[in-house]
Amino acid sequence: MSPQPEGIRGATISGTGMYVPERVLTNADLEKMVDTTDSWIVERTGIRERRIARDDEPSSEMAVIAVRRALESAKLEPKDIDQIIVVTTTPDRFLPSCACTIQKKIGASNAAAYDVFAACTGFIYGLGLARSLIGSRVAETILVIGVEKLSSIVDYTDRNTCVLFGDGAGAAIVQPAQPGQGILAVSMRSDGELGEVLEIPAGGSARPMDEAAVRAKDNTIHMRGKELFKIAVRTMEESLREALNEAGVGMDELKLVIPHQANQRIIDAMRDRLGVPADKVITNIDRYGNTSSASIPISLDEVVREGRLKPGDHVAFVAFGGGVTWGASVMRWTMPAPLVPVEPATLVSARRS
Ligand SMILES: CC(C)(COP(=O)(O)OP(=O)(O)OC[C@H]1O[C@@H](n2cnc3c(N)ncnc32)[C@H](O)[C@@H]1OP(=O)(O)O)[C@@H](O)C(=O)NCCC(=O)NCCS
C-alpha cells in the first residue's frame, strides 16, 4: 500500500467503455466439447455463458471499441491521451506491445503506450499506476485498458479450465481530481512464491514455443483451481480491508463493490467474510465468465451506464490473479450519472444492427 503523499494532486475516472464479442459460448455448447454439465458449471462457478472473439478479432480490436466508448463518455479525442496503459495476458503479440498497436489503431499520436502484466489484477495495477502518474504531474489524461482474448490461451479439451474463461475489453480514462475526490486508495500486492498455481508454462524466454510444447498444450493455461480458490478469498478480503482503511471509508459507506469475476462462490465467500450485502456486490459472471483484467472495467462500464453510481458515492474494486497478484481500490465517484440510463443489452444490440 502506498498512501498518496500530502500535496500530490488527486486522480479520478472520467470516462468508461466496454466491449464483448458477439459470439456466445454456452454451457450447453461446452457439454458437447468436454465431459461436463450445465448444472456442474452453474453450481461450481455461477457461469452460464461467455463471449468468444472471432479469429480475426485480436485483443487490440476489442480494446479499440471499448476505448472509443470511453473517449465518447469523457468527451475526449484520441490526441488528448498522454499515456496508454494496457493490462493484459493476451497481447496481439509480444512485440510491439498491445498498447502500441492500439495507439496506432485509434490515432493517439501524443501518447506513450506500454503493457503491464499483472494477470486478473491488472486493472487495479493500471489504476494505481495512472493515479501516481497524474499525482506527480507526469501525465494529464491516461487510458487504462483491460483486455483479454483468453480463448487464445485456453485448452478446450481441459474441463478444469475451459468452462471458466471468456473474452472482452474494458477501458477507463483517468484524469486529475480535486483533493478527496476520485481514487482515494489503491492497494497492490503480489507473491511470486505462488506463481505456479496459475501459469502458461511455455512461450516465454525460459521455454520458447516449440512443437513439443504445443503437443503438451504448455502454450495454454495450467491451473491448480482449489489452491487458487483459497488464495483468492483470503487476498481479496485482505486487500479490500486495507484499501478501505487507507481511504478512511467504512465498509457500510460503500455503495458498490466491483470484484474480479472469477467464480461466483469466490465472490460470495469474500462477501460473507466482509459482511457486505449481496445487492451491493456486482456480478455478471453468469454472462461473461472470467475475462481476467477486463472483468472489472467491463462491470464498471455496465454499472455506470445503468446509472448506479452518482457523484459522492463510494465504490471499491477488488481482484486477485496469476503471479500471484492481488489488490483493491476505493473511489469517491465523480462522474455524473447518465440522464437516461443505457442498458448494456442495448449496447450489444446497437452493435449488431
Ligand atoms: C476450478 C473450480 C471451479 C473447481 O471447483 P472445485 O469445487 O474446486 O472442484 P474440484 O477441483 O474439487 O473438482 C471436483 C471434481 O469436479 C471435476 N471437474 C472439474 N471441472 C469440471 C467440469 N467442468 N465439469 C465437471 N466436472 C469437473 C474434477 O475433475 C473433480 O473430479 P474428481 O473429484 O473426480 O477429481 C474452482 O476451484 C475455482 O474456481 N478455483 C479458482 C479458479 C480461478 O479463479 N481461476 C482464475 C484465477 S483469476
Atom of ligand 1 at shortest range from CA of 228: 41
Which residues line the pocket of ligand 1, CB cutoff 6 A?
Answer: 36, 40-41, 44-45, 120, 159-160, 163-164, 198, 223, 225-226, 228-229, 232, 262-263, 290, 321
Atom of ligand 1 at shortest range from CA of 30: 23
Does 346 have pLDDT greater than 50? Answer: no
- The pLDDT value recorded for residue 8 is 83
Dihedral of CA atoms 302, 305, 306, 312 in degrees, nearest 10, equals 100
Atom of ligand 1 at shortest range from CA of 163: 23
Name the residue of 148, 229, 318 whose CB sits within 8 Å of the most ligand 1 atoms, as the mutation to test its pocket: 229
Task: Report the nearest-CA residue for atom 5 of ligand 1.
Answer: 44
- The pLDDT value recorded for residue 303 is 97
Ligand 1 centroid to Cα of residue 153, in Å, is 18
- The pLDDT value recorded for residue 3 is 57
Short-list 232, 261, 104, 45, CA closest to 170 = 261
Please spell the DSSP secondary structure of 18-58, one letter per residue. EE--S-EEEHHHHHTTSS--HHHHHHHH---EEE---TT--
Ligand 1 centroid to Cα of residue 182, in Å, is 38
Residue 4: pLDDT band with limits 50, 70, 90 = low
Residue 349: pLDDT band with limits 50, 70, 90 = very low
Task: Report the nearest-CA residue for atom 2 of ligand 1.
Answer: 225
pTM of the model: 0.95
- The pLDDT value recorded for residue 352 is 44
Task: Report the nearest-CA residue for atom 28 of ligand 1.
Answer: 160
Ligand 1 centroid to Cα of residue 151, in Å, is 18
Hey, is 18 helix, strand or coil? strand
Average pLDDT, rounded, for the chain: 94
Atom of ligand 1 at shortest range from CA of 45: 3
Contact by Cβ (8 Å): 33, 180: no
Partnered with residue 258 across adjacent β-strands are 317
8-state DSSP, 185? E
- The pLDDT value recorded for residue 338 is 80
Question: What digits encode the pLDDT tens for the residues 243-275?
Answer: 999 999 999 999 999 999 999 999 999 999 999
C-alpha cell at 22: 458477439
Ligand 1 centroid to Cα of residue 318, in Å, is 22
Q: What percent of the chain has pLDDT over 70?
A: 94
Exposed/middle/buried for residue 98 (C-beta within 10 Å: 0-12, 13-18, 19+): buried
Q: What is the rounded average pLDDT of the residues 306-310?
A: 95
Residue 344: pLDDT band with limits 50, 70, 90 = low
Q: How many CB atoms lie within 10 A of CB 36?
A: 17
> Which tops the pLDDT comparison, 67 or 6?
67
- The pLDDT value recorded for residue 14 is 97
Q: What is the rounded average pLDDT of the residues 189-217?
A: 96
- The pLDDT value recorded for residue 20 is 98
Residue 353: pLDDT band with limits 50, 70, 90 = very low
Q: What is the rounded average pLDDT of the residues 15-22?
A: 97
Dihedral of CA atoms 146, 136, 1, 89 in degrees, nearest 10, equals 20
Ligand 1 centroid to Cα of residue 288, in Å, is 18
Ligand 1 centroid to Cα of residue 160, in Å, is 6
Task: Report the nearest-CA residue for atom 19 of ligand 1.
Answer: 160
Name the residue of 160, 165, 270 whose CB sits within 8 Å of the most ligand 1 atoms, as the mutation to test its pocket: 160
Residues recognised as catalytic:
120, 260, 290
Q: What is the rounded average pLDDT of the residues 98-112?
A: 98
Task: Report the nearest-CA residue for atom 1 of ligand 1.
Answer: 225
Does 6 have pLDDT greater than 90? Answer: no
Task: Report the nearest-CA residue for atom 30 of ligand 1.
Answer: 160
C-alpha cell at 113: 503506450
Q: What is the rounded average pLDDT of the residues 307-314?
A: 96
- The pLDDT value recorded for residue 337 is 84
Residues in the chain: 353
Question: What digits encode the pLDDT tens for the residues 61-86?
Answer: 999 999 999 999 999 999 999 999 99
Instruction: Outline where 136-189 has alpha helix (H).
Output: 159-162
- The pLDDT value recorded for residue 350 is 45
